Structure formats: C-alpha cells, structure tokens
Amino acid sequence: MIQGTRLSPSNWQRLHAAARSRLGLLLGFCAISISLAIVQSHASIAAVAVGSVIAIGALAPLVMVWCASVSIASDTTRCFAGDRVTLTLAAKSRLPVPLPELQLDVPHLLRPPSEALTLRPGTSTHVVATAATRRGVVDLSICGLLSGFPFGLVRARRRATGGNRLVIWPRPTPVDASVLSARSDPLAVDWTHARSSAGGELVGVRGYRRGDSMRSIHWQQTSKHGRLIVTERAGGTSRQLGVWLDTRSTSFADPEQFEEAVSQAAGFVDLAERSGVAVVINIARQRFTVNDDRSRRDALDALALVVLDGDSGPVPSQSASVVCITTSHGWRSCSHDRNTPMLVADRKAVPA
C-alpha cells in the first residue's frame, strides 16, 4: 500500500497565499502600463511589458526546480500515527543566487511542513519537521520540491532522490490489563488460557478453566468431586490471548470505523508488551504470536498495511476464548463459538 504522489492541498494553499500579493502587484503594473501606452498610443510597449511579466512568471518556477536537487531521509523507519517525524534534506542549487519560497511536498500520510525553504547556492542541509497523520506505508522518494515563485502563474515540481520507506503504525487504543482477569470481564469468560506442560513438576490440582487441555484432567479427583479437576504443574504454563480482526467491508459502516477497529487490535499488541501475555493475533489470514520485540514489530507492520475488504479468514477454532474485534453487524455474519467475546469498533463489549 505505497501511497501515490498526490499533492497535499495545503501545499497549494500556501503557494496561493504567497502569490496573491505578487499577483495583485502584477495586475496593477499591467493596468498602469496599458493605460500609459493607450494614452501615448504605444500599444506595442504595453504588449511587450505584459508579455515580459507573464514570461517571467511562467519560466521562473521551472528554472528554479530544474536548477535545484534534493535527497531526503527520515530519522526513523517506523513510527506511530501522530508521532513527530524529522526529515533531513541534502539540497544543491546550481544557480549563483538563493532560490526562495520552495515548498517540500510530502505524501498525504504526512502533515505538510509549515515553513518554506530557501536554498543557498551550492550545497546545504535542511531539517524539516512533520508528523504522521494516519497509518500506512510511505515511500519518501516520492517527496518533491514545489515552486510557484514569483506570481503563482505556473507551479513546477521536482521529485526528490533517495528516501527511505517509512512504516506508520496505527495509534493503539489502550486496553485495560484487567480484561485478562475473568472476574472483571463483562462477558464472564477467561480471555486467556494456560497451556500445561507434562514435564513440569506437579504442584497441585484445581478446578477446570476454559482453555485447559483435556490431558491435564485428574480423573480420580473429578470423579470424587463431581466436577472437572485438572493437575497444575510448575514451570510449564504460558498465558495466551487470541485476537481476531474483522477486515470485511460488509462489517463496517465506513472506513473510519474500521480504523478504530485496527487501533483496537494495536492496543492488544501493546497489551502483550505490558502484561507479558502472549497475544496470538489473526490479521487477514496472517497469524502472529506476539511475545517479543520482533513479533510485536511484525504484527504492527501488518496492521499498518491491512485494508478493508480483505479476507479475514474464519474465527480461529480453539479451546481458548478469542476476542473478536468487529461490529455488531459483523458479529452476526461470522461463524464463531457462542461464548467468544466481541469487542466492537465503538469500544463496547457486547455479549454473544
């Protein structure tokens, strides 16, 4: 999902604002020249004057961007939506005079810089501050220099060279770690389960919890107490939480609602880092077990690229509860265990 070279509207707006005053002076100059020429019956003088001004206004932007070149690099290759991004420009001007009022054009996933650039003769380095506006992947080599100087009659653009790939992760919606406790879960089910290893030391028995392996059932104690009892072993358990992100276009009213769902999924990735619980997240038929920095990065990269109208795949069928991030409409149209909890895009938990 490399974003195209679409020009940011605010860049043109700044060029328009800077050119309005000059355009007014140009029109005033033309009006005075024409009036004087008519009075003195020198129409040729008026034509030459007006033609010269128009030629300067049309050629100057083209000459400026042709004589300037710039390579670009960012201070990071990954960031969250809303984070500040610093761009370093290595510029070169082949003209012996400064090139004023150049704008850096950036893809629409980045906020357009607010200040114009002035390139000195020769080589120079410029640091430009911007910010990531929303998730996605940006190829910074499609950035470019814009010029409408001096009158805004013609706008010219030259593409930058170099430029790295910037991955913008979705801003996580905070997930309260208390959801890992069945006591605080509004759906009254365990969102995590323990996987017991047969090699661990036996430390006791306890009541069966959703997600326990059938092999861990202590049948003698189960028969004695009339309910399922399982063995518990030390050093052989790992907590795990399943998450399934719905990416079907039929489940969401609009793209913004889907963006909230993606931020919810990123919140569960963040929860894995904070709580030490391994999160198994299913994104468009891709499965990521988030339990270290590398798997966290891979899962967030997938969330940066996931698109609406993708193939979500089936809700994972496993003994543990799977948190389904979808909407009420999407919940009704997917197959799932009736005890599977759902977290809808408007951030309300709804029972099955």
Residues 262-311 have pLDDT tens digits of 999 999 999 888 777 788 898 988 889 898 889 999 999 999 999 987 66
Lowest mean pLDDT among 164-173, 223-232, 245-254, 263-272: 223-232
pLDDT of 91: 94
What does the domain layout of the chain look like in residue ranges?
9-169, 196-237, 238-350
Tell me, yes or no, if the pTM score tops 0.75: no
pLDDT tens per residue across span 36-51: 656 555 666 666 667 7
Q: What is the C-alpha separation between 220 and 228, in angstroms, rounded? A: 10
Which residue has better confidence, 186 or 290?
A: 290
Under the banding of pLDDT at 50, 70 and 90, the label for residue 186 is very low
What DSSP string runs through 244-287? EE---GGG-SSHHHHHHHHHHHHHHHHHHHHH-PEEEEEETTEE
- Are residues 180 and 275 in contact, defined by beta-carbon separation less than 8 angstroms? yes
Confirm if 187 and 351 have CB atoms less than 8 A apart. Answer: yes
Residue 284 buriedness (CB in 10 A; 0-12 / 13-18 / 19+): middle
Q: How far is CA 348 from CA 24, 114, 283, 327, 342, in A?
A: 56, 38, 21, 10, 9
The rounded distance, in Å, linking the Cα atoms of 352 and 331 is 8
| Fold of the CATH domain 9-169 | Immunoglobulin-like (2.60.40)
Question: Which amino acid is located at 341 in the chain?
Answer: P
For residues 167-179, give the mean pLDDT.
84
- Contact indicator for 139, 2 with CB cutoff of 8 Å: yes
Query: pLDDT > 70: what percent of the chain?
Result: 65
Which tops the pLDDT comparison, 99 or 190? Answer: 99
Q: Tell me the C-alpha distance between 208 and 232, whole Å.
A: 10
Question: Rounded to an integer, what distance in angstroms lies between the CA atom of residue 170 and that of residue 81?
Answer: 5
Which of 111-115, 186-190, 256-260, 307-311 shows the lowest per-residue confidence on average (mean pLDDT)?
186-190
Q: Is the pLDDT of residue 84 over 80?
A: yes
Contact 289, 243 (CB under 8 A): no
Residue 64 in contact with residue 53, Cβ under 8 Å? no
User: Among 20-34, 132-146, 214-228, 316-330, where is mean pLDDT lowest?
Assistant: 20-34
Give me the pLDDT at residue 2, please. Answer: 33
* Cβ neighbours for 120, distance < 8 A, ≥ 6 positions apart: 93, 98
**Model confidence at 346, in pLDDT bands (50, 70, 90)?**
very low
275 vs 213, which has greater pLDDT? 275
Q: At what angle do helices 43-66 and 9-39 cross, to 10 degrees?
A: 160
